[in-house]
Amino acid sequence: MNQLSQLNLSGTPASLYRWASRIPSTTLKTHLDFLMTEFDPLFSARRMAAEVVEIIDETQDVKTYVLRPSVHWKGFVPGQYIAVEVDIKGVRVQRNYSISSAGSLFEREGLISITVKCVEGGTVSNYLADVLRLNKVLHISEARGTFVLAPDELDQKNSQKPETKAGATRAPLFVAAGSGITPIMAMIEALDASNALGNATLVYAVNAEQELIFAERLQVLQERNPGFELLPHYSKSKSGQLNNKRLLNYCPDVAERAIYTCGPAEFMGMVKGLATALGMPESAVRSESFGLPKAKNIADRLFKTRETLVSGDSGKASNANSARVTLVKAETTLVAKGDKTLLELAEQAGLKPKFGCRMGVCHECKCKMSSGRVINSLTGELVPAEQTHIQACISIPIDDVSIESW
Ligand code: FES
């Protein structure tokens, strides 16, 4: 284990940092922070990091990584996620993972965990499974996200009250699919810690029993909270995929519940569709989405828009399937195919462009486009020709594009 991270925080590095944080000079602080980071990344106040302290095999292709975040990491609300950043073959890549551990573990021991399923072609999930070992340090973000329990859910009195349609109190119904259980697990543990799990229901869909993540933890929670309904659904059994009819069978009073759902987009769409059909208010359904999904049928739209642009100007080097991207500063030209964003294309080519949220929020990836057209991956709309400053993480080249500065 990294020796410094074993030190009591009253030891030299922490005292030094506390002393440094009172220094008025920003430059000196920055230099000191750099030195501390060189000494131990877990002491940096500028770039959060976490040490891997345990790796747990959950199922055949799912692992939980128990992490000890930097001393400056601010903590989380159950249901939130962190961005994990790793360098793979010289390219920095980032993915969001929900925190799957109970808040009490962080309060007690300063630990959190993420639970990751290896997916085919999943660059980061496979890297974590194949390369990440104990004592390694990952760069992480502060906790993010708004998929959290409604404030009144943690009130233990609510778990005994019968819920009413009109009342503010709705018993929670969690509907998860596959690794969508991860943020929900943290929420359920939070309810348990507040003695408020007694009226909750979890419908958890996986292909087969051996794919149930956290089976033992859930079992223990059910034994401790007799009113907590744990309803696993096996999609590869006779009952088939979980659909709105089956969900209604599991929980006939869906319309009176506060719904929390996490899983693939179509799965959450099914749950929301049922809620809408039952006339539930939008606020009664909360769902997780790590960033905004690409617009529907974007590949089709790209092809058609490219086709129109190309047929209108025979001098173009692009065709309906591809476009060229010239990065002037890096003196590189890339070929854009499919629906890859400018950021993804640059990273694929081994470049290390600046980025933050990767979902069109923070503007860290803003760059100046001197010619060409891009489509906005969130809306599927063509970005106006007069707009020259674009966000690389949500811009898909539709035409030969030249990026002047990034
Ligand atoms: S990385 Fe945040 S807007 Fe692009």
Report residue 5's pLDDT band, with 50, 70 and 90 as the boundaries.
Answer: very low
In this structure, the residues whose C-beta lies within 6 A of any atom of ligand 1 are 355-358, 360-365, 391, 393
Q: Residue 144 Cα, ligand 1 centroid: separation in angstroms?
A: 15
More confident residue, 96 or 44: 96
What would the two tokens of residue 185 be? Answer: 């697990």
Distances (CA, A) of 47 to 28, 30, 33, 274: 17, 12, 10, 42
Whole-number Å distance between alpha carbons of 42 and 51: 8
In this prediction, residue 10 carries a pLDDT of 40
- Give the ligand 1 atom nearest the CA of 354: 1
Place of tokens 């089956």: 246
Of 358, 377, 383, 395, which is best to mutate to test ligand 1, by the most ligand atoms within 8 angstroms of its C-beta? 358
Q: Going by C-beta distance under 8 Å and a sequence separation of 6 or more, which residues neighbour residue 329?
A: 403, 404, 405, 406
Strand order from edge to edge, sheet including 137-140 = 91-98, 81-88, 137-140, 49-59, 62-69, 112-117
Phi first, then psi: what are they for 318, rounded to 5°? -80, 165
**8 A C-beta contact, residue 341 and residue 394:** yes
Q: Is the pLDDT of residue 28 over 50?
A: yes
Helix axes 12-21, 26-39, angle to 10 degrees: 160
**8 A C-beta contact, residue 203 and residue 174:** yes
What would the two tokens of residue 125 be? Answer: 């999930």
* Topology at the third CATH level for domain 298-405: Ubiquitin-like (UB roll) (3.10.20)
Q: Is the pLDDT of residue 288 over 70?
A: yes
Q: Residue 231 Cα, ligand 1 centroid: separation in angstroms?
A: 39
Q: Going by C-beta distance under 8 Å and a sequence separation of 6 or more, which residues neighbour residue 51?
A: 1, 2, 5, 42, 67, 68, 135, 136, 137
Mean pLDDT of the chain: 83
More confident residue, 296 or 77: 77
CATH 2.60.120.10 fits 151-287, yes or no: no
Whole-number Å distance between alpha carbons of 284 and 150: 9
In this prediction, residue 310 carries a pLDDT of 56
Q: Which of 218-232, 271-285, 342-356 has the lowest mean pLDDT?
A: 342-356
Strands 91-98 and 81-88, bridge-based pairing: antiparallel
- The 3 state secondary structure assigned to 193-228 is HCCCCCCCEEEEEECCHHHCCCHHHHHHHHHHCCCC
Q: Going by C-beta distance under 8 Å and a sequence separation of 6 or more, which residues neighbour residue 323?
A: 306, 335, 336, 372, 397, 398, 399, 400, 401
In this prediction, residue 8 carries a pLDDT of 41
Whole-number Å distance between alpha carbons of 333 and 318: 13
In this prediction, residue 122 carries a pLDDT of 80
Q: Which of 170-184, 215-229, 265-279, 371-385 has the lowest mean pLDDT?
A: 371-385
Q: Residue 378 Cα, ligand 1 centroid: separation in angstroms?
A: 12
Whole-number Å distance between alpha carbons of 373 and 399: 5
- The 3 state secondary structure assigned to 312-362 is HCCCCCCECCEEEEEECCCCEEEEEECCCCHHHHHHHCCCCCCCCCCCCCC
Q: Is the pLDDT of residue 228 over 90?
A: yes
In this prediction, residue 4 carries a pLDDT of 37
Residues 264-280 have pLDDT tens digits of 878 998 999 999 999 99
Of 96, 290, 294, 393, which is best to mutate to test ligand 1, by the most ligand atoms within 8 angstroms of its C-beta? 393
- Cα 129 from chain centre: 18
Domain locations in the chain as residue ranges? 3-140, 151-287, 298-405
Report residue 298's pLDDT band, with 50, 70 and 90 as the boundaries.
Answer: low
**8 A C-beta contact, residue 373 and residue 365:** no
In this prediction, residue 169 carries a pLDDT of 73
Q: Which of 15-19, 190-194, 206-210 has the lowest mean pLDDT?
A: 15-19
In this prediction, residue 167 carries a pLDDT of 45
Mean pLDDT in residue range 220-224: 96
- Give the ligand 1 atom nearest the CA of 365: 4
Residues 315-348 have pLDDT tens digits of 554 555 678 899 998 889 998 877 789 998 888 8
Q: Residue 359 Cα, ligand 1 centroid: separation in angstroms?
A: 5
Classify 3-140 by CATH class.
mainly beta
Q: Select, from the ranges 33-42, 104-113, 278-287, the one with the highest average predicted confidence (pLDDT).
A: 104-113
Whole-number Å distance between alpha carbons of 235 and 240: 5
Distances (CA, A) of 297 to 39, 323, 338, 380: 49, 19, 12, 8
DSSP state of 43: G
Q: Residue 69 Cα, ligand 1 centroid: separation in angstroms?
A: 24
In this prediction, residue 14 carries a pLDDT of 54
Would you say the CATH fold of 151-287 matches that of 3-140?
no
Q: Residue 393 Cα, ligand 1 centroid: separation in angstroms?
A: 6
Q: Going by C-beta distance under 8 Å and a sequence separation of 6 or more, which residues neighbour residue 129?
A: 63, 116, 118
Give me the percent of the chain exceeding a pLDDT of 70: 77
- Cα 30 from chain centre: 29
Mean pLDDT in residue range 182-197: 96
Residues 120-162 have pLDDT tens digits of 778 889 999 999 999 999 999 999 888 999 877 766 555 554 4
Classify 263 as helix, strand or coil: coil
Classify 49 as helix, strand or coil: strand
Mean pLDDT in residue range 229-252: 94
